[in-house]
Amino acid sequence: MQSTRKLRPAPFDPLYDPMTARAIGPGSDYAPTYWIGTAGPAPEDDGPVTRDMDVDVAVIGSGYTGLSTAIHLAKDHGIKATVLEANGVAYGCSTRNGGQAQVSAGRLKRSQWIERWGLDVARGMHGEMVEAFDLFRGLLRDHDIRCEPQDGGHYYIAHKASVLPALESEARLLRDSFGYDARMLSRDELFRTAVRDHEAQGAMWEADGVSIHAAKLAFGYLRVARDLGATVHPDSPVQGWELINGVHHLRTPGGTVRARRVAVATAAYATRGLHGRLRDRLMPIMSNSIVTRVLTPSELDAVGIRTMAPLTDTRTLRHYYRLLPDNRLQIGSRAAITGRDAANPAHLNGLREGMARKFPALRGIELDYSWWGWVDVSHDMMPRITGLPDTPGLFYALGYGGNGVMYSAMAGRRLAQLVAGKPVPDLPIFNTELPHEGWRTPFRRLGQWGLYHLYHYRDERK
């Protein structure tokens, strides 16, 4: 069935806020992103749920994680999942991100993994990330997912000189303790070979980093999942959830879906009411993103980008940026704290200013696209792919913290293993639950406001 998006246009709900909203969807249109604007026609889906159904496995959320779960349930375990999505397929961050596939998940560096878990576990985690990158590349290759992959490694750019020693030590650690190809570039080398970012004082280059077209990746996963027998229902938000005699009853506007096993893949987009056991396990953090008009040859020369690979800077409130294949520049960073404040021009101006500090030639340039999205940050900065011991048949993959483009492919494979009752590696992201934050919503946001000020002060002091 052709996607319902074109048939039932509804206004994009720009101020949606998962911390306060009672409901998500149905019928919200996609965010006005470069990705949606250039992805081509929406792919086919299975239309909204229109009747009560008994299914084997239900997946809630149709971003990269939900779709990869459906793909691996079918491919590896012979299970044809039913995917329920609140709005259009991949309505959430899978059509809003920066398209940077990096060899990580969560927000911690390798040195922080070692501090937290010791070297052996950190090595196990590193192995998981490397295997995940192989799986990600393999999915694109084997299923002919045309998402414009630009391979060139990842440049982690020192935005001030005082961060260079820590960056050098991280590169050494990657090489010596993990056997991973990472090296430092001087400012001159970076300018000559990669980008003339005026703030840059040098950079760490990591061998794995691929830029992709975010929506083409999501729609590619959608095609593969359906080809393998999964059904994907847009405009079918789960609005009520009861466990009756070991069967999960998921109420959607068109009918109740009854499933013995449920995989939750809703990232930051679920409301707090989705399931009591998952409430407040994540901190939704807003990130905004802009795309310039096509750069002229002289602007391109001034910006000096000679790579389409992913670039990020070393700020805690980091910028992520890249040259797009059609010679526009994309850049993103932190945004508002609440959904209500999302459209405040101060946030757009802040991001424009961040771009101009890096690339003075682009100060005041016209923008063709501007949007924002919610990132699922967990309270200990690492994701979890696990189950709830006291709730049979309920599993989740959540909390990648703005680093899920690549790893969500593997998270889906691991989630599928859990759903199918198969073992997963003995690592902390699989054998512990997402930690719970006890604070009430207004205090969490007050804390976030305070932290933003502290991070900004630390990021900008010399």
Ligand X SMILES: Cc1cc2nc3c(=O)[nH]c(=O)nc-3n(C[C@H](O)[C@H](O)[C@H](O)COP(=O)(O)OP(=O)(O)OC[C@H]3O[C@@H](n4cnc5c(N)ncnc54)[C@H](O)[C@@H]3O)c2cc1C
Distance CA(72)–CA(81), nearest Å, equals 10
- Shortest approach of ligand X to residue 150 CB, angstroms? 13
Residue 96 as a binder of ligand X (CB under 6 A): the answer is yes
For ligand X, which is the closer residue by CB, 201 or 403? 403
* 395 three-state secondary structure: strand
- Shortest approach of ligand X to residue 62 CB, angstroms? 6
The DSSP secondary structure of 219-239, one letter per residue, reads HHHHHHHHHTT-EEESS----
Q: Which of 42, 70, 225, 265 binds ligand X (CB under 6 A)?
A: 265
Q: Which of 98, 152, 387, 393 binds ligand X (CB under 6 A)?
A: 98
Stretch binding ligand X (CB under 6 A), from 51-59, 133-141, 264-272, 298-306: 264-272
For ligand X, which is the closer residue by CB, 382 or 405? 405
Residue 339 as a binder of ligand X (CB under 6 A): the answer is no
For ligand X, which is the closer residue by CB, 164 or 411? 411
Distance CA(365)–CA(342), nearest Å, equals 22
For ligand X, which is the closer residue by CB, 132 or 164? 132
For ligand X, which is the closer residue by CB, 164 or 407? 407
- Shortest approach of ligand X to residue 27 CB, angstroms? 12
- Shortest approach of ligand X to residue 376 CB, angstroms? 7
- Contact assessment for residue 409 and residue 263, using Cβ atoms and an 8 Å cutoff: no
Q: Is the dihedral of CA 123, 321, 210, 61 positive or negative?
A: positive
Looking at this protein, which amino acid is placed at residue 134? D
Q: Name residues contacting ligand X, limited to 378-417 (CB under 6 A).
A: 400, 402-406, 408
* 381 three-state secondary structure: coil
Residue 43 as a binder of ligand X (CB under 6 A): the answer is no
Question: Which residues are bridge partners to 322 per DSSP?
Answer: 330
Residue 215 as a binder of ligand X (CB under 6 A): the answer is no
Contact string 53-72 vs ligand X (x = CB under 6 A): -------xxxxxxx------
Tokens 């998500």 map to which residue? 24
Residue 97 as a binder of ligand X (CB under 6 A): the answer is yes
For ligand X, which is the closer residue by CB, 234 or 393? 234
Q: Which of 57, 90, 222, 259 binds ligand X (CB under 6 A)?
A: 90
Stretch binding ligand X (CB under 6 A), from 46-54, 160-168, 266-274, 355-363: 266-274
Stretch binding ligand X (CB under 6 A), from 71-79, 131-139, 174-182, 261-269: 261-269
Looking at this protein, which amino acid is placed at residue 85? E
Q: 214: closest CA among 399, 14, 4, 36?
A: 36
For ligand X, which is the closer residue by CB, 194 or 212? 212
Cβ-based neighbours of 94, under 8 Å, separated by 6 or more: 63, 64, 214, 215, 217, 218, 408
Stretch binding ligand X (CB under 6 A), from 128-136, 188-196, 367-375, 415-423: 367-375
Distance CA(224)–CA(420), nearest Å, equals 20
Residue 106, CB-side half-sphere exposure with 13 Å CA sphere: 22
Q: Which of 153, 332, 387, 393 binds ligand X (CB under 6 A)?
A: 332
Q: What's the chain's length in residues?
A: 462
Q: Which of 4, 231, 287, 292 binds ligand X (CB under 6 A)?
A: 287
Distance CA(309)–CA(151), nearest Å, equals 6
Q: What does each C-alpha distance from 38 to 214, 216, 342, 418 come to in angstroms?
A: 10, 9, 24, 36
Stretch binding ligand X (CB under 6 A), from 97-105, 128-136, 165-173, 295-303: 97-105
For ligand X, which is the closer residue by CB, 13 or 459? 13
The DSSP secondary structure of 2-49, one letter per residue, reads --STTTS-----TT--TTT-S---SSPPPP--HHHHHS-SPPP-----
Residue 154 as a binder of ligand X (CB under 6 A): the answer is no
Q: Provide the 10 A C-beta neighbour count for residue 423.
A: 8
- Shortest approach of ligand X to residue 407 CB, angstroms? 7
Residue 373 as a binder of ligand X (CB under 6 A): the answer is yes
- Shortest approach of ligand X to residue 210 CB, angstroms? 10
The DSSP secondary structure of 71-98, one letter per residue, reads HHHHHHH----EEE-SSSTT-SGGGTS-
For ligand X, which is the closer residue by CB, 99 or 202? 99
Residue 333 as a binder of ligand X (CB under 6 A): the answer is no
Residue 87 as a binder of ligand X (CB under 6 A): the answer is yes
Torsion region of 70: left, alpha or beta (phi above 0 gives left; psi -120 to 50 gives alpha) = alpha
Cβ-based neighbours of 442, under 8 Å, separated by 6 or more: none
For ligand X, which is the closer residue by CB, 62 or 201? 62
- Residues at the contact surface with ligand X, assessed by CB under 6 A: 24, 60-66, 84-87, 90-94, 96-100, 102, 237-238, 265-267, 269-270, 274, 287, 289, 320, 332, 373-375, 400, 402-406, 408
